[in-house]
Structure 1
Amino acid sequence: MSGAIQFLNITPKDFLDEVDKRLDNRFVDFTKKFKPDPPEEFMTKEEVSKLLKVTKTTINNYTNRGILTPYGLGGMIYFKRSEIEKAIIKLR
């Protein structure tokens, strides 16, 4: 046997149509399930203070106490919005 596959009672066009249909269905299923992660949003200290309605000094205190993690680039300090939201704790 040379590794060939024989199909009975089906034309090459019907076979290719069936393959296309199945691939299309799998692609549709994949695109329904695939949800890319949104890009990470970075905020300045001023934006964080406005979001939390606190002073920049309070943001510095949160940073020094390890509540917020600062990230730097080119002399600027940024905070990840997702980490800010996780830092907010539920009270009772």
Structure 2
Amino acid sequence: MSTIQFFQVSPEQLQSEITKGVKAHLDDFLKHFKPKQPNDYLTRSDVAQMFNVDLSTIANWQKNGKLKPYGLGGRVYFLRSDIEASLTPLNG
């Protein structure tokens, strides 16, 4: 175990320097920190209800490549973020 000695530094000055260093590292971390949002998966029925359309419309959108399906077993899911990204603004 090593020993560190501080000369001509008051405890308040040492605490202030430590606080500045920690704050600088924390500020840098928070600048680059982007929390990952959990994926929100929707069923075909959820998507049909969201847009007030029939399940056959969801199947057509899937077939035409407008919606990207994900599967688990025999179930089909869509990512909410993919659905929102597929929406396009209308020129009006």
Structure 2: which amino acid aligns with 1:21?
T
Structure 2: which amino acid aligns with 1:59?
I
> Cα gap change, 1:32/1:82 in structure 2, threshold over 3 Å: closer, same or farther?
same
Partner Cα distance (1:45, 1:82) in 2: 15
Partner Cα distance (1:34, 1:88) in 2: 28
1:34 matches 2:33: yes
Instruction: Kindly tell me the number of residue pairs found equivalent between the two proteins.
Output: 87
Partner Cα distance (1:44, 1:50) in 2: 10
RMSD of equivalent CA atoms: 2.6
Please report the TM-score for the alignment, with normalisation by the length of structure 2: 0.75
Identity score, percent: 37
Partner Cα distance (1:84, 1:47) in 2: 11
> 1:82 is matched with which residue?
81
> 2:53 is matched with which residue?
54
Please report the TM-score for the alignment, with normalisation by the length of structure 1: 0.75
| CA deviation vs aligned residue, 1:28-64 (integer Å, no higher than 9, x gap) | 5244763412111110000000001111100000000
Q: Secondary structure at the match of 1:54?
A: coil
